[in-house]
Copies of this chain bind each other. A is one copy, B any other.
């Protein structure tokens, strides 16, 4: 999933030093980690050196085999599942003697495509730096790491450092730490590491369905995404769904002189502006009839969790140059619990120096919709189309020819993207409560519990295919340049992530009913 942006420097500058371990698990993991930091960092660096764009079949296969081997070194029984047209899924199981429960850990091992020209160092040449590049980070020597603890603000740069190879290495480190301390796992573990998430997971549903029995569990942990902007560990229990639409309005077959034909020939730029304005107001309220009918209200537990999320709005407003935000300055976490209609593009004629006094031939608006339970892409589509038909538009799904344009007034071409539905696992579901408790009792501090991410992750696919709940347990720093150049993982996030996964492995079984 995409990056949350950089900074919040003011908030973060005052972060307190880590307190003493709050639990035996925390103490054991910290002890092991402190002695093995260089080993873990090198292990992640080795993995980052493998190019991992999903479309590069040979390279992606090398990643899968390496990761399977790393799991097998920890005693897991694994194999590569057929990707059914996509890269293989790395699958492995690790038993837990006497455990009554099973959790599946999901992450993806492929990375976003890269534009090497934009990277400070080559994307698959991992580089450790003293801090973020935009804060003056200097290169360190990966071949000469200190034997003892490192500065936790150091960052490891490379494609997938945070998204999601960092998660995979944190999971492996958690296993090692528990093993070294002799702390037993209380849940049976299944690992499901996908190889084409950054390509849109086109085969994920099919692979899940084909392996339904194999994947039987109490629930899923999704090791993707960032922790909270305050750097506090975070669980997320859902994500908004998404769909997309491009609307095109038509004027004359070719641009016409606006003096000779202005206010006679229909202007498609004006039509598209009115269409957009009819869909939502400037405060984000969607003005399509019935649009909010399917919105499931937040539960009391979800509302309470939101109220406890640390406020970062003021810092974000300053960073993003916003004098005001929509809906009268309502809190960001409240806003992302609602459906959103975002105009991601407008295009008609030309602006600036290239503007010509002409009536454009066509005009387009590109929109992405963020869906919340119980909205669906099909339901959104039906309501938007009814709204536009109600305005007298004739809706078509193709670029109209001259004859169709001559014959039909108020034509709109709608081009829908598929997308997927939202998902939200109840915060008070047994699995949600157990994951939360396992980590919080280990850390001795409350987690940030986000009922739903504003961004979209196809968590609904897992729920649909397996019927099991899913909770997001991310490790990456929010300022990790995910999907962009200079992707990186802050070391403290790697250590926090190691501890969080260790907490789940050690405590979840005891917390599940």
Contact = CB atoms under 8 A, between A and B. Distances in A.
Contacts of A348: 343, 345-346
Copies of this protein chain in the complex: 2
A246 interface: yes
Closest 7 A/B residue pairs (Cβ): A259-B455, A263-B284, A324-B409, A253-B321, A273-B276, A345-B349, A262-B340
Interface string A395-414: 00000001001111111000
Nearest to A478: B260
A353 B289 CA distance: 29
Contacts of A330: 264
A455 B324 contact: no
Interface stretch (A45-53, A155-163, A187-195, A355-363): A355-363
B277 A274 contact: yes
A326 B271 CA distance: 11
A446 to B, nearest CB: 22
A265 B320 contact: yes
Interface residues of A, number: 94
26 contacts: A246-B355, A258-B340, A258-B344, A259-B336, A259-B340, A259-B453, A259-B454, A260-B453, A261-B454, A262-B370, A263-B327, A263-B335, A264-B336, A266-B325, A267-B282, A267-B342, A269-B345, A269-B365, A274-B281, A321-B406, A342-B357, A344-B356, A345-B351, A346-B348, A346-B349, A346-B363
A409 B329 CA distance: 11
A439 to B, nearest CB: 23
A368 B360 contact: no
Most chain B C-beta atoms within 10 Å of own C-beta, residue among A319, A351, A402, A454: A351
A365 B351 contact: yes
Interface string A306-327: 0000000000111111111111
A273, A326, A368: residue with the most chain B Cβ atoms closer than 10 Å? A273
A2 B346 contact: no
A89 interface: no
Contact of A257 (B282, B357, B411, B455): B455
A414 to B, nearest CB: 13
A280 interface: yes
Contacts of A332: 261, 264
Interface in A353-383: 354-360, 363-366, 368, 370
A340 B281 CA distance: 26
B355 A321 contact: no
B338 A263 contact: yes
Contacts of A276: 269-270, 273-274, 277
Contacts of A94: none
A5 interface: yes
